Structure 1
Amino acid sequence: MGEQFARANKYCRIALLLALCAHGAGSNSGTAQDNPVSLQPIVGPGPDEQRQLLDFVSRHGGGIIVSEGALQTVVGRETTDKGPVQDQILGAYVLGTQSTTARSSLDFVPNSEHARWFIHLRGKTLNCTTSYTPQAIIRSQGEYLFQLSKQVDLTESNVMTRSPAAFMETRQRNFAAHTPADTIPLVGPLVGMAAFMEAENRRPLAERIAAYRLTERIAPKFNSEIDTSLVQLNQTLSQLQEQWPKGVLQSPTLHSLSTQSAATLALDFGSGNVTAGPIDWSLANPQAGISVLLSEQRLNSWLAQLPIAGQQIRDTDIDLLVNRIQGKSSGGPALPGTLPQQPISLATLILDEQRPLSVRFLENYTLLELRMRIRPTVGEELPTQVVRLRFEVRPTDSAFEILPSVAEVVPLQPELSQVAHELARNVLKQQFEQRLKTIPVPRQIPVPEAWVSAGVSHVEVTQFTSKGGWLSVVWQPRAVSVQ
C-alpha cells in the first residue's frame, strides 16, 4: 500500500507540474510585485463531464482526474508592475508613469484525443503621460486591456505548444494641450485648440503604436517563461522513460483527455484493456482537487507482469527489508575479535508459479492475497498456503494510518495433509503478525516555493479509501494562512 501511494504521489506531482508554466506578466522599467491570489471556490464538473471522465478512467482501469479549479490555486498569480515611461511616438518625446496589473490563469477545453488547455495572461495597463514636440505639449491618459493566450497539448509522449495569440483593447484620452502661444490673447486658445485637434486626429495611430509596444514587451516574456517550463516538463517525462526499470512492467504510455473543467490522465503499461467495474463519483471527487483512482483489475494486471512467480525469499531477507523501511539496523553488534552477527535463516518462502500476488479493494479496506509454500532449513517442504492480509485505513488529524492484519491463512489444496497445513498456517500467521506494523501516510505534502508564492501552503490528502473494486486518493491544495 505504501508503494502504491508513493507511485501515485509521483504521477500526481507530474500532473501538478503541468500547471507551473502559467506564470508570466509584462514589466516596465520600474518595480514589480507578485501578489498571491486568494483561492477561488472550486466548481466540479457537471453530470455529462462526470460521465465522460469516469468512462475514461473505467476504460483504462484507473487514472488521475485534475480539476481546473484546483490548478487555478497554483497558476492564479497576480503581478503589479509600476514605473516611469520614456518613449518616442510619432515624433513626440513621451514622459510619464505607467502601471500594469496582470493575472495568469488556466482553462481546460474539451478534447477527446488528448488533454488540451490554454494559459492566459489577462491584464490592464494605465498610464498618465505628457508628450513634448516643438509645437505643443499634450497631456493624456491611457488604458490598455490585454489578453495573451497560449495553447498547450499533452500528447502520449510530450507536451506541445503553439505561439501565443494576443488581443488588445485601447482607450487613449487627450485632455489638455499647451503651445508657446498660450499667453497671447485670442490667438492662444485657437492655436491650443488646433494642436488638440491634431493630437486627436493622430490618436488612433498613436494607440496602435502604443499597443504594439506593449505587446512587444509582454508577449516575449510570457512566451519564454511558458516554453521554459514546458521544456523542463518534457525533460522530466523523458527521464522517467529512460530511467524506467527494465523488466518491471513496460515503459508507460500516457493517455489523456480534457473536458470543460477537468482533465484526466492514464498510464498504459502495455498490459492491454481490462474490464473494470463501475466507479462511484463520490470516489473521484475532482472538485476537491486531484484524484488518483486505481481499479483492482488494472493493478492485478500489472502485478501479473512482475517477474516474481516462483521467486524464493528467505525469512531473513524479509527482516532486512522491514528494518530498512523502519530505519533500523539489522543484526547485533560484533564482539571484540569476532565477526558481526548475521541473522540465521530458518525457512525460505517460495511464491506460487501461477498467481503469487493479487489485490482486492473492498469497503474501506484492501485485501492482499499471497500464495506461497514454505521450505524449512531443516525438514520437509510445506504445501502452498493462501495468506490474505487486510489493510484498513483509519483517518486521524495528521495522517491516514494503514492498519495491517492477517485476515486468514488457508490451504490452496485442502485435500493434502491436514497436519502439514496446520503447521504451515501457524508458521505463516506467526511470521506475518510479527512483522506487520502500522503504516502512517501523512496528510500534508510540501509544495515547491513557487506554489507558496502563488498562495498554496501545502497539498493535503483529504481522502484515502477503497470501495467496489476501486482505490481512491484525493489531494487538495490549501491556501496560505493570512496573519
Structure 2
Amino acid sequence: MMTRLVSKVSWPLLAIAIALAVLSLPAPSWMQARIESSASASRVVETSIDRAAAPRADRTAARIERPEHKYAPLEAPTQVLRPAVVPMPVQPMRAPATEAAPAEAVPAAEQPAEPAAPPRKTLADVEAPAQEAPTGPLVAEQIDLDPSLIETPALPPARASINDDDAVGSSLQPSLLPASSALEGEAAPLEPAAETLSTGPWALAKSLVEQLQTVAASQPTASDWALGAVAKLEALAKLPTLDDPQAAEILNGLAADAEQGKELARNYPENEDRTRLLRAGYAIVRRHAIWSVVHQLAVTPPEIPEVGDFAVWNRNLTEVNRLFPAQGAASWRKYLLIDEALQKIGATDVSVDEQRKLVLLMLDRIHSTQLAEDQSYYLENQPAVQQLVTQMKLLADEPADLAGLVLAIEKFEHDGLASESATLADAYQDIRFSNDERVRQLAETVNAFYRNANVRVALSATLINRLLPQEQQMQEPVYDQIQGAYVQGASNTSTRLRLVLLPDRLRWRMGLEARGEVASSTASSKGPATFYQDGLSTYRARKMLTVDRKGIRIFSAEAQADANNSLTDFETNFDGIPLVSNLVRSIARSQYDAAAPLAKMEVEHKIVGRATSKLDEEVAAKLEKAKLDFQTKLLSPLQKLELDPTAVDMETTEERLIARYRLAGRHQVSAHTPRPQAPGDSLLSVQVHDSALNNVLEQLKLHGRKVDLIDLFKEVTARFNQEVVPVPEDLPEDVMVTFADTDPVQVDCIDGRLRLTIRLKELSHGKSKWTNFTVRGYYVPTSDQLDANLARDGVIELIGGKLRFGDQVALRGIFSRVLSRNRKLSLVNKQLAESPELRDLQVTQFVLHDGWIGVALGPKLPERQAIAPVSPAR
C-alpha cells in the first residue's frame, strides 16, 4: 500500500515536473497543415523575432540576413497568455509596464512593447466569473542560490566533461559555498535524538558535529580541520548569551574553516572523501549565514516594535470592507479573511496569539507567490489595502525569538522530521514581515537556505529536437488564382522543424523554426493562353515564446518565402492558325514576363500569410491544451493539498531550459543541502529533494487517522489520477491502520537508498491488533537502458518495544505485501523510455544522496555506470 502511495502520489510529480518543461512547446501536428499555393510556394518556420511586426504584404519581400540562431524580440506580442487567478476569481487585466520580479537590463528596442496599465480603482476591474490556472510556472521568488556537487559515478574522464551547470556557474554560489564534488548520503538516525542538543541560546549543531567527526575519522589529512571546527561549535554552544563577545570570534573562525575546507577539497580526487568534506563545509556555510545575523541582532537589538492601534486598524479595515462589498466580491473577502478579521481582531474573547496568527496569515495571502500579477498589482495599488498592511505589520510584529530559531534549525537538521520542518517554517513566518530591516534580512536568509528549490529540471534542446518529427513530406493539389489567372496542379512540400534556445538568465526563451521546400507542377490559364510551369520554392517561418512570471508570451509568427518558377511550355487557343498564332503567342509571352514579378510577390505573400496564421493558430491551440494539462495534472491536486508550487528560478542557456521549483506549503521548508550535478552531456536531468515528497505526504493529513488500507489506496490514487487505478491483487484485505499523530509517513534518501518510514498507532487484521510501532522499507535504484526504477531491498524493519517474535512474523507477512517487491517505483515516463528516437540513450545517472534523488538521461558510452554502489546501512 505504501509502495503504491509513494508511486501514485509522489513519483508522478517527477513526470509532471519533466512535462512542465515540454508543455510550453507546441506539438508538431501543425506541420500537417495545408498551405495551398500556385506556381511555386515555400514554407519555412523560423521564429520571426528580428524585426517589428509589419503588414504581411510588406513582409513578403523582406529577407532575414542574420544568422539562424540570432533572435531579437518583436516590438509587441499579439498574444499574451498571462497567469490567471489561483486563490480566487479575477478579471484578466493588462499587465503593468514594469515587472515585479528581478529583471535583467534589456535594450529598449528588444523589449516587447506593452501599453502601460491604467490605474485600477474599482473592484469591477478585477472580477471574473470563473477561476483559471496559470498557463506556466510563475517565477514568483528569485532565489539564485543553487548549491550543487558533482555526483559519482561520473562519465569516464576521457569521454565527456561533468556538470550541466556551466551556464549558471559559481556566480550563484556564495563565497563560502563548496565549488564542486561528488555526493554521498549521510546516515539519518533511526529515531529523533533532539534531547542531545544544547539547551543554551546557541544550540549545539549536533548533526554538523557528527559530519565533521566522520571526516576526521576517515580522512587523516583533514582531521585537524574537522576537529578544529568541532571545537568551535562546542565552544559556541557553551556561551551563555547570543551577544557574548566570544561569539563573533568563533563565527569568524567558522567562516575561515569553510574557506579552508574548500582549499583542502582541491587536494582530493572527485570521490567520496572530497564530497564528504565539501558537504560538511556547506553545512558550516548555511549555519554561519544565519548565526552571523542572529549575533548582530543580539548585540544591537531591534527597537521595541510599535504597538498597533486598534482604532486605526478598525478604520482601515472598514475602508477595505467597503472596497470589497458583501455582494459581488465573495471570493476576495474569503481569500483576504475580511469577515474573520472583523470578528476576531480586537475581540476580548480571542487570544492575542490567535489574533497575531490570523494577521500573519492575511499578510501571507496578500504577498502570496500564487497571486497572478494583475492581482498583486491591484492589491499593491489600493491605498486602503496598503494602509491596512501597515497596521497588520504593527499588530503582528513581536521581538524575534532568536534562540528559538537557532534551536529550530538544529532540530530540523538533526531529526529531519516534518514536525520539525513545521517549527522552523513557523519561525520563518514569525519574522518575515518584521518592521526591522535586519530581522527581515534574517528571514530572507532562512528562506534562501532552508526554503530553497526542491525540484530542478534541465531539458536540452537536443532532446526536444529529437522528439520533433524528422523531415515530413506532404503532397497536395493546387487550386488558386494568381494575378487573375486560374492555377491548378500539384505540389510536394517537405518541412523540417527545430527548436532554438535563446539564452536568458531570468526566463525561458525559445524559438520554434520550420523550413520547407515546395516542388510544384502547375498550369495557369488566363484568356486564350495556358502556361505550364515547374516551381521550386523555399520558405521559413518562426515564432518566439517566452515563459516568465507573467506567464507564457506568444510572439507573432513571421515567415518569408522565395518563389522560383521555370516556364516549361505554353499554349494558346490560336495555335496552328497561320500568322495569328505567332502574334498571339508573342503577346501572351510578353504579358507573362511582365506579370511575373507581381505574380512572384503575390505567391510569396500568400505563402507567408497562410504559414504565419496557421502557425499562430496551432501554437495557441497547443498552449491551451498545455494549460489544461497543467491545471488538471499538477496545479489542482497540489493546491487541494495546500501546497504552493513556485518556480524560484528559470533560465535559458544555449543548450538547456532550466527550472527550479519549490514545492512547499506555508508551514513547510524545502531543500537545504547541495543537489547532485548531472553529467555534462545529459539531455534530460531531474533532481528532487525528499522534502518535496515529504511535503506532499504531510499534506495528505494522515495524522492520527484510522482508515482501511484498501480505502486509503483508492482515496490517495484518486487525488492524482483521473482514471480509477485498480487495487493491487496482493494488497491485503481487512487491514485497518491508525497512523501516528506526528510524522506518520516519511521518506528520506540515505546511503544510496530511499527509506520509507511508516509510524502507526495501531494496526488490526482480523482479530489481531498491534499498537505503537514503526515500519521501515528500503528501496534501491535499478536502471536498464531508459528505465529508472526503485525496487525494495532487504528486509522490512519493525521497531516497537512490545513486539514479540510472533508479532514480527505476522507484521512482516502483512507489510511484505503492502510494500511488495513486485511493485517497482518508476521514475521515467514509460512513453519516453520506449521512444524509438531515444534508443541510443541511457540512464546516465541515478543517485540518492543527502536528501536528493538525481536522474539523468544521456548518450550511451562504454563502461558507463549510472548507479553508485549502495553503502551498507548504518
Paired position in structure 1 for 2:749: 361
Shift of 1:234: 1.2
Q: Which residue of 2 aligns with 1:286?
A: 682
Alpha carbons 2:35, 2:607 under 8 Å: kept = no
Per the alignment, residue 2 of structure 1 pairs with: 7
| Gap change, CA 1:461 and 1:156, over 3 Å in 2 | farther
Render the CA deviation track for 1:230-258: whole Å, top value 9, x for unaligned: 11211222334674266624242456432
SS state of the match for residue 148, structure 1?
strand
Contact 2:543 2:555 in 1 (8 A): yes
Contact conserved, 1:104 with 1:121, CA < 8 A, in 2? yes
Name 1:336's counterpart in structure 2. none
Alpha-carbon shift at residue 166 of structure 1 (Å): 1.4
Query: Retained in 1: the 8 A contact 2:675–2:687?
Result: no
2:364 corresponds in structure 1 to none
Report what 2:778 is aligned to.
Answer: 390
Q: Deviations over 1:193-235 (max 9, x none)?
A: 6754553443222111011222333333332222222112112
- What is the aligned counterpart of 2:792 among 403, 412, 415? 403
CA contact (8 A) 2:512 2:543 kept: yes
CA separation of 1:344 and 1:200: change in aligned 2, threshold 3 A: closer
Q: 1:142 and 2:544 equivalent?
A: no
SS of residue in 2 equivalent to 1:128: strand
**Aligned-partner Cα distance in 2 for 1:231–1:477:** 33
Residues 264-299 of structure 1, C-alpha deviations (whole Å, 9 max, x = no match): 334433447745333333368631xx3331123544
Residue 142 of structure 1, CA deviation: 2.7
| Match for residue 127 of structure 1 among 520, 536, 539 | 520
CA contact (8 A) 1:21 1:227 kept: no
What one-letter code is carried by the residue in structure 2 that aligns with 1:440? K
CA change 1:160–1:61 in 2 (3 A) is same
What's the offset of the Cα at 1:125? 1.4
Alignment-derived partner of residue 48 in structure 1: 166
Whole-Å separation in 2 of the counterparts to 1:349 and 1:424: 20
User: 1:409: how far off?
Assistant: 5.9
Whole-Å separation in 1 of the counterparts to 2:162 and 2:560: 29
Q: Does 1:440 align with 2:824?
A: yes
* 1:464 positional shift: 4.4
- TM-score, length of structure 2 as denominator length: 0.41
* Structure 1 residue 21 corresponds to structure 2 residue 21: no
Match of residue 97, structure 1, among 469, 487, 490:
490
Q: Which residue of 2 aligns with 1:351?
A: 740
Instruction: Provide the secondary structure at the position in 1 that maps to 2:789.
Output: strand
* Corresponding residue of 2:811: 431
2:244 maps to none
How far does the alpha carbon of each residue in 1:75-127 deviate from its partner, in whole angstroms, 9 at most, with x for none? 22543222343333224343433222122332232233332322223211122
1:70 equivalent to 2:188? Answer no
Secondary structure, aligned partner of 1:389: strand
**Residue in 2 that maps onto 1:203:** 596
Q: Which has the higher contact order (CA 8 A, sep 6+)?
A: 2
Q: Which residues in structure 2 correspond to 1:174-193 (within 5 Å)?
A: 174=567, 188=582
Deviation of 1:143 after TM superposition, in Å, equals 2.5
Specify the alignment match of 1:40 in structure 2. none
The 1:146/1:477 distance shift into structure 2, 3 A limit, reads farther
Stretches of structure 1 lacking an aligned partner (at least 5 in a row): 31-42, 332-342, 412-420, 479-483
Given that 1:86 and 1:95 are in contact with CA atoms closer than 8 Å, whether structure 2 keeps it comes out as yes
SS at match of 1:112: coil
String of CA shifts for 1:337-365, please: whole Å, max 9, x gaps. Answer: xxxxxx487xx765253x55543323431
SS of the aligned residue for 1:167 comes to strand
Residue in 2 that maps onto 1:327: 729
* Residues 475, 17 of structure 1: alpha-carbon distance in 2 compared, 3 angstrom cutoff: farther
1:238 correspondence with 2:245: no
Decide whether aligned partners of structure 1 residues 376 and 178 sit closer, same or farther in structure 2, where only a CA change above 3 A counts.
closer
Task: Quickly say closer, same or farther: Cα 1:284–1:47, change in 2 above 3 A.
Answer: closer
Gapped runs of 5+ residues in structure 2?
1-5, 38-160, 174-447, 715-725, 861-874
* Cα distance change of structure 1 residues 319 and 228 upon mapping to structure 2, 3 Å threshold: closer
- Give the aligned partner of residue 12 of structure 1: 18
Give the Cα–Cα distance (whole angstroms) in 2 for the partners of residues 246 and 93 of structure 1: 59
Rounded Cα–Cα distance in structure 1 between residues aligned with 2:528 and 2:764: 105
Displacement after TM superposition at 1:405 (Å) = 3.9
From the superposition, tell whether residues 128 and 329 of structure 1 become closer, same or farther in structure 2 (CA, over 3 Å): closer
In structure 2, relative to structure 1, the CA distance for the partners of 1:62 and 1:428 (3 Å cut) is farther
Percent of aligned pairs sharing the same letter = 17
Distance change in 2, residues 1:294/1:285 (3 Å): farther
**1:417 corresponds to which residue?**
none
On the 8 A contact 2:676/2:687 being kept in 1, the answer is no
Counterparts of 1:211 and 1:17, CA distance in 2 = 32
Q: Which residue number in structure 1 is paired with residue 407 of structure 2?
A: none
Mapped contact 2:678–2:856 kept (Cα < 8 A): no
Would the aligned equivalents of 1:144 and 1:211 in 2 still touch at CA under 8 Å? no
Counterpart of 1:252? 645
Alignment pair present for 1:470 and 2:852: yes
C-alpha separation in 2, matches of 1:49 and 1:117: 16
* Residues 424, 13 of structure 1: alpha-carbon distance in 2 compared, 3 angstrom cutoff: farther
Q: Deviations over 1:19-74 (max 9, x none)?
A: 453332342679xxxxxxxxxxxx99966337499989x95122222222222233
**Paired residues for 1:286-325 under 5 Å:** 286-287=682-683, 290-300=684-694, 307-309=701-703, 311-313=704-706, 317-318=708-709
Q: Does the 8 Å contact 1:254/1:268 carry over to 2?
A: yes
Is the CA contact 2:26–2:618 (under 8 Å) kept in the aligned structure 1?
no
SS in 2 for 1:23: helix
Alignment length, in residue pairs?
430
Question: Helix, strand or coil for the counterpart of 2:27?
Answer: helix
Q: Match of 2:546? A: 153
Q: Which amino acid aligns with 2:565?
A: Q
CA distance in 1, matches of 2:732, 2:671: 44
Change (3 A) 1:410 1:238: closer
- For residue 11 of structure 2, what is the amino acid of its counterpart? F
Whole-angstrom CA distance in 2 between matches of 1:113 and 1:90:
49
Contact 2:538-2:561 within 8 A present in 1 as well: yes
Q: Which residue of 2 aligns with 1:82?
A: 475
Give me the CA root mean square deviation. 4.9
Are the counterparts in 1 of residues 664 and 692 from structure 2 also a CA contact under 8 Å? no
- Whole-angstrom distance in 2 between the partners of 1:119 and 1:432: 55
Distance 1:312 1:447, change over 3 A: closer
Cα distance in 1 between the residues matched to 2:713 and 2:477: 64
In structure 2, do the counterparts of structure 1 residues 53 and 104 end up closer, same or farther at CA, with 3 Å as the change threshold? farther
